[in-house]
Amino acid sequence: MLKTGFVLRTKLNPAIENLWRSLRISFWLALVPCSESWAQDTPRPPIVPKAAPQKSPSVESEKPVTPLYEVVRVPEPGVLHVQASGLEVRLKAWGIGCPKRDQPGYREGLRFAEEELLGLKVKLVVKREFDPDGYKQVLIYPEGETTSFNRSMISRGHAWHLEKDTKRFGPFALAQIKAKRERSGIWRESFAYDFEGTNDAAPKPRLPSLLRGQGIKGGAGRIMYWQSYVGKVHGPGCAFYTKGSGILTSNPQGRDCGICGGRQGPRR
C-alpha cells in the first residue's frame, strides 16, 4: 500500500502544478485592467522642467575694465595731453628725462613720441599725483602693448632713466644699459645732459675741444672723471658717474669704462 500511495502522489503532482499555474495566470490577467484604471484615475504630479545650469561668472568678467584715454597733444617728448571726461589733462611720463628744446636728440624724441602716442588710446598708471611743475606722472601703455612708452623711450635712446625718482626701477635700468651699449640716440652725443632732472642745468660739452671752442680756458676747461675704487674711470654723463665709492679727479688712473668710454669718450 505504501508503494501504491507513493505512485498516486507522484502522478497527481503534475496535474496539481498545472492547475495552480493556470489559476495564477488568470489572477494576474484579472488584475491588469484594474491597475490600469487606477493609474489613469490617480493624478500625477506635474512635470517641472529642470532649470538650465547657470554658468558661474568667469574671472575675466569680474575684473574691472581699465579705461583708455585718447592722446590729443604731444608738446614735448615726455609730455602728453589726454582727453578725460571732456577735459584735456596734461601728464608727464614717469621716471624719464628728455632733452630740452634745441638740445641734441630733442626732435628725434618728439617725433618718436608723436608716432607712438598722438591720436591713439593709452592705458595710464599713476605713479605720482603731482610733481613740482603740476604734472601727474604716469606709466603709459599704448593700447594692446605690454611694454610701457616710458621704457621704449629709454631703450631707443630718446630719454634717460631718472634713478632717484624710480628708486632704480629694474626695467628702466636694463633699458638704459641696452641703449648705452648700442650708442642709441642721446648716447651718441658729446653732451652731458641734465641727468638729475633739474630745470636750470644746461647741457655741457664733454670734450676739451668743445670747451675751448666756447672760450673756456684753464682749470674751468678740465674734465672731472669719476675714478672708482675698483679702478674704473667714468666720464660725465655715465650711469656710474659719482655712483658708489670713488673720487673725482681730472687725472684718473685705471681702466676706461666700457659703456661711456672713460677718458676716450664715446666710441664712434
Whole-number Å distance between alpha carbons of 221 and 105: 24
Whole-number Å distance between alpha carbons of 160 and 162: 6
pLDDT for 16 equals 72
Please give the model's pTM, rounded to 2 decimal places: 0.53
Whole-number Å distance between alpha carbons of 143 and 122: 5
Whole-number Å distance between alpha carbons of 183 and 205: 17
Q: Would you say residue 215 has pLDDT above 50? A: no
What's the grid cell of residue 124? 595710464
Q: Would you say residue 128 has pLDDT above 70? A: yes
Average pLDDT over residues 108-136: 91
Whole-number Å distance between alpha carbons of 175 and 152: 8
88-112 pLDDT per residue, tens: 999 999 999 999 888 889 999 999 9
pLDDT for 52 equals 61
pLDDT for 84 equals 87
Burial 194-214 (b: 16+ CB within 10 A, else e): bbebeeeeebbbbeeeebeee
Q: Decide: 209 and 174 in contact? Cβ < 8 Å.
A: no
Between 15 and 168, the higher pLDDT residue: 168
